[in-house]
Amino acid sequence: MNILVLYEDESLVVVDKPAGMVVDEVAAQTGARLVHRLDRDTSGIMVLAKNASAELDLKKQFEERKVVKKYLALVHGEMPEDQGLITTPLAKHPQNRTRVVVGGETDRSAITEWKVTKRIQSYTLVELLPHTGRTHQLRVHPQSIGHPIVADPIYGYRKKLKADLAFCPRLFLHATYLEFTHPTTGRRNSFTSQLPTDLQTVVDNLVH
């Protein structure tokens, strides 16, 4: 798969990751170091470091929640409010360590802000702004309030997955915006990414 490079200098590279690619492959193709992750089936903006100093700086920004991240997701159901905040703690699944569940003995705080972008038939296109970076947070949090992401094979409606995949080819989650402080210049940098063609087609077909 080809990776679209949005920006590159001596310290970092910003890319638009295609769905279906693991982040380790992104690092291998760009020759840069991972400082955060996107799920394999999630597309969108990532920043990678090109040296140890930039890696340390960027990782610290993510850990201290100084990075602004925004995603677009299509979820099941019509969300009644225009915006809200999900603060349910998350924990590793006791039997399956690759999955995440709401609450538990080892729960960790998780915060997701959401804003409705458009209501379409029995779905809602929603902007998700994570204030924490827990594993699968943006997939579990909407599901926890009764609005799982369309075509999510793990956290979505199992009985509706086949129907989802009939009109949406993959998990409808895209990283649309990333803002951080450049580790060398100290300036705030921001990057945006429009919905890729496969997801935009899903929206267009629902609207029409």
pLDDT score recorded for residue 169: 95
The rounded percent of the chain whose pLDDT value lies above 70 is 96
pLDDT score recorded for residue 103: 74
Give, in order, the Cα–Cα distances in Å from 164 to each of 26, 36, 76, 158, 199.
Answer: 28, 29, 10, 10, 12
From the candidates 9, 16, 24, 39, give the one annotated as an active-site residue.
39
The pLDDT of 114-130, averaged and rounded, is 97
Residue type, 109: S
Q: Are 76 and 123 in contact (CB under 8 A)?
A: yes
Cα 2 to the center of its chain, rounded Å: 20
The pLDDT of 28-42, averaged and rounded, is 96
pLDDT score recorded for residue 208: 82
pLDDT score recorded for residue 47: 98
CA-nearest of 46, 29, 145, 127 to 87 is 145
Farthest-apart Cα atoms in the chain, separation: 50
pTM: 0.94
CATH class of 4-207: alpha beta
Q: Calculate Rg over the CA atoms of the chain.
A: 17
Q: Is 107 a catalytic residue?
A: no
Residue recorded with tokens 């702004």 = 129
Distance separating alpha carbons of residues 127 and 198, to the nearest angstrom? 18
Tokens of 4: 């679209």
The pLDDT of 192-203, averaged and rounded, is 97
Q: Among 35-49, 84-98, 123-137, 189-203, which is the least confidently predicted range?
A: 84-98
Is 133's pLDDT higher than 80?
yes
Distance separating alpha carbons of residues 139 and 137, to the nearest angstrom? 5
Q: What is the pLDDT of residues 144-168, one digit of tens each?
A: 999 999 999 999 988 999 999 999 9
**Can you give the residue ranges of every domain in the chain?**
4-207
